């Protein structure tokens, strides 16, 4: 459903947060689409419901989904929010690019890397 890496040091709830944010802001999940329930995701990933709940609540707080208690959670996708999400992704990109250059990598190498990614993006 939402692929995560149980091992690895980034917290589970954060992986979920990132992955779902990606799916929504890229348009892979469309507005007002129903999200899988907290319990479904938890069971599917073999993870405690509280952990999934935490991710969902943060998504709601950020305005990416809205949840109607006793009904379910739905994709919200406010444009202004999506933009700040993209802003943040861009900021993180800038930071890692700067770090790479400061580590002695040539800008051209980085551009080439981006071109390599152009074809094979993944939105399962």
Partner DNA sequence: GTGGTCTAGACCACA
Q: Under the rule (CB under 8 A), what is the footprint of a copy of itself?
A: 6-7, 9, 11, 18, 21-22, 25-27, 61, 66, 68-69, 82, 85-86, 89-90, 92-105, 107, 109-111, 113-115, 117-118, 121-123
Name which of 37 and 97 has its Cβ closer to DNA.
37
CB-based contacts of 31, cutoff 8 Å, min separation 6? 75, 76, 77
What's the rounded Cα separation, in Å, for the pair 66 and 122? 25
Q: Give the binding range for DNA (CB under 7 A) out of 22-30, 67-75, 86-94, 95-103.
A: 67-75
Between the CA of residue 54 and those of 59, 77, 87, 90, what are the distances in Å? 9, 19, 23, 25
Q: Does 48 bind DNA (CB under 7 A)?
A: yes
């Amino acid at each position: 459903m939402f692929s995560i890496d149980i091992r690895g040091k980034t917290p589970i709830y954060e992986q979920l947060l990132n992955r779902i944010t990606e799916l929504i802001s890229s348009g892979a999940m469309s507005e007002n689409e129903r999200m899988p329930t907290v319990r479904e995701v938890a069971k599917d990933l073999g993870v405690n419901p509280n952990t999934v709940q935490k991710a969902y609540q943060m998504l709601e707080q950020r305005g990416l989904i809205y949840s109607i208690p006793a009904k379910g959670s739905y994709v919200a996708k406010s444009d202004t929010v999506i933009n700040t999400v993209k802003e943040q992704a861009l900021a993180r990109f800038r930071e890692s690019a700067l770090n790479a250059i400061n580590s002695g990598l040539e800008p051209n190498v980085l551009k080439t890397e981006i071109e390599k990614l152009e074809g094979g993006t993944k939105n399962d």
